[in-house]
Structure 1
Amino acid sequence: MTSYDALLLVSFGGPEGPQDVMPFLENVTRGRNVPRERLEKVAEHYHLFGGVSPINQHCRDLKAAIEADFAAHGVDLPVYWGNRNWDPYLTDTVRQMADDGIRRAAAFVTSAYSGFSSCGQYAGDIARARAAVPGAPEIDKLRVYFNHPGFVEPFVEATRAALDRLPEDLRGRAHVAFSAHSVPMAQPGRERYAAELADISAHVAAQAAPGHDWRLVYQSRSGPPGQPWLEPDIGDHLEELHAAGTRAVVVVPIGFVSDHMEVKYDLDVEAAELAAKLGLAYERAATPGTHPRYVSMVRELLAERTAGPDAPRPALGTLGARPDVCPAECGHA
């Protein structure tokens, strides 16, 4: 049995004003030789929303919801929050934890899947933050939770709700596209990431949209044109649906835990505008956000990790619960 004296919420971070946008994008892409023109193009997406990403406010809301859930269930632990790419930076948060006398914390990451981008990078960031802080607490990253009922059940509910918002005469034959952030084919853990997405998409489709055609698609790729990434791209898929005579589509952002910029721009603006141009009725399902079931999952993941490897680890779909410590293929072992 492991005892923790804090929970650490770890997220990606995002700009909170126009002046933050380019410094934030430079943080995200440091060392990747991304052309300035590409950064300026992405910056335009943020400026459409006043230069503010929704992700930091989401983390504030999620932190408050976790604290309320902990209090309601007698979990007497402080909740800290640190980001990879913007204030509050993870290293600063770990320093504050050390100053507060925290000795061992569990880390909940706002990314549900295996793979380098969604798991390994976060584990590496936690390790680097600890190395930079004398007397840093031990920090155990909670397991990957893509198939935990607390993550999946809100998507089932949201997919049904999105289908219900379609015109009644289009609803029965609507296509369901499950969308996730694309990654390079050469990225460590890519196969595991794609397998998890496919497995849980199939489960949500069976529960929320039985009899509907569905497909897993990808979005938000940012690499050089000649570099292979996971496909099909959601834009290409919408074009194919139109060509096949499909009249309505529900997009489920199955790869995302909240409505951050890749959801708000890439799906709610870019994909929605393309669907309108093609004459496709379009609805986007909600992400878990601060859904009570998702919030309670954090406490459940903490409890199972505290209880040790023999504790029940609920999982939907066919792949089973992932281990507490990720394999080398996530890119950080």
Structure 2
Amino acid sequence: MTSYDALLLVSFGGPEGPQDVMPFLENVTRGRNVPRERLEEVAEHYRLFGGVSPINQYCRDLKAAIEADFAAHGLDLPVYWGNRNWDPYLTDTVRRMARDGIRRAAAFVTSAYSGYSSCGQYVGDIARARAAVPDAPRIDKLRVYFNHPGFVEPFIEATRAALERVPERLRPGAHVTFTAHSVPLAQPGRERYAAELADVSAYVAAQAAPGHDWRLVYQSRSGPPAQPWLEPDICDHLAELRAAGREAVVVVPIGFVSDHMEVKYDLDVEAAGRAAELGLVYERAATPGTHPHYVSMVRRLLLERTAGPDAPRPALGALGARPDVCPAECGHA
């Protein structure tokens, strides 16, 4: 059995005011030669929301919910929080953990899937933070949880609720569209990432929308046009639905754990606006956020890891639970 003396919540980070937007975007794109005009274009998305990303407040809310869940179940562990791209930076958090005498922590990442962007990059972030801090604690990332009931069940509930919001006369023919962040086809772990998304989408569709047509599509690509990424793009997909005579769509952001900017802008502004132009009734399902099942999943993943490799690993769908330590295709081995 493994003993932990802290939980570390690891997330992406986001700006918390207009003055933060460009420095944040420069952090995100450092070393990628992204043109300044592209950064300015993305900055406008944040400025529509006062220059504030929802993700940091979400992490505060999630941290508080995890702490309350731990306390309610007699689990006496401190919860720390560190980001990749904005304050509180992961290295600063690891430094504080070392000062507090933490020797071994489990890390929960606000990203549910395998692949480089979803998993491997965070493992690398944790390793770099530890390398920068003398006497840093050992930190073990908890396993990928895309098909854990605590992640999937809130989506089933949210998809049903979104379908109920579609006008009754259009509901039987409503198309269910699952969407996730696109990644380059050349990215390590891309095939595993896409397979996991397809598996969980199929499961949610069967449980929440039996008899409805569905499809997995992608959003939020940011690379040069010549670089192939996972497709189709959601806005192209919406146009195809309308051209085929569809009148209503339910969009399920299956690739996301919370309503951060890629949900609030890319879906609630851009995709919703495109649907309105097309005359397509558009409803968007909620993300798990701080749903009680999602919050309790964090504790269950921690206890599962503590109990060792023979502990039950709950998983829905066809792929089964992923291992505690990701294979090389996540891009960090």
When normalised by structure 1's length, the TM-score is 1.00
> Is 1:69 aligned to residue 72 of structure 2?
no
Question: In the aligned structure 1, how far is the partner of 2:39 from the partner of 2:121?
Answer: 21
| TM-superposition CA deviations, 1:10-46 (whole Å, max 9, x none) | 0000000000000000000000000000000000000
Q: How does 1:1-333 map to 2 (within 5 A)?
A: 1-333=1-333
Give how far 1:71 is off.
Answer: 0.1
Q: Write the letter of the residue equivalent to 2:24.
A: F
- Once residues 145 and 279 of structure 1 are traced to their aligned partners in structure 2, the CA distance between those partners, rounded to angstroms, is 36
Structure 1 vs Structure 2: percent identity of aligned residues? Answer: 89
Tell me how large the CA RMSD over aligned residues is: 0.2
Which residue type is aligned with residue 97 of structure 1?
Answer: M
The amino acid that maps onto 1:68 is A
Q: Any idea what the Cα deviations from partners look like across 1:110-151, whole Å, max 9, x if unmatched? A: 000000000000000000000000000000000000000000
Q: 1 CA distance for matches of 2:2 and 2:172?
A: 49
- Counterpart CA distance in 2 for 1:29 and 1:184 is 15
**Counterparts of 2:170 and 2:315, CA distance in 1:** 33
**Following the alignment from structure 1 to structure 2, what is the Cα–Cα distance between the partners of residues 79 and 165?**
37
- Counterpart Cα distance in 2 of 1:11 and 1:328: 22
Measured in 2, the distance between the counterparts of 1:233 and 1:166 equals 23
Distance (Å, rounded) in 2 between the aligned partners of 1:192 and 1:37: 33
What are the Cα deviations for residues 54-73 of structure 1, in whole angstroms up to 9, with x where unaligned? 00000000000000000000
Letter in 1 for 2:80: Y
SS of 2:187's partner is coil
Q: Partners of 2:218 and 2:179 in 1: how far apart?
A: 5
- What amino acid maps onto 1:31 in structure 2? G
Where structure 2 has 5 or more consecutive residues not aligned to the other structure, the ranges are: none
The structural deviation recorded for 1:306 is: 0.1
* Unaligned segments of structure 1, at least 5 residues: none
- Using the size of structure 2 for normalisation, the TM-score is 1.00
Partners of 2:301 and 2:252 in 1: CA distance: 24
Distance across 1 between alignment mates of 2:20 and 2:169: 45
Displacement over 6 Å in runs of 4+: none
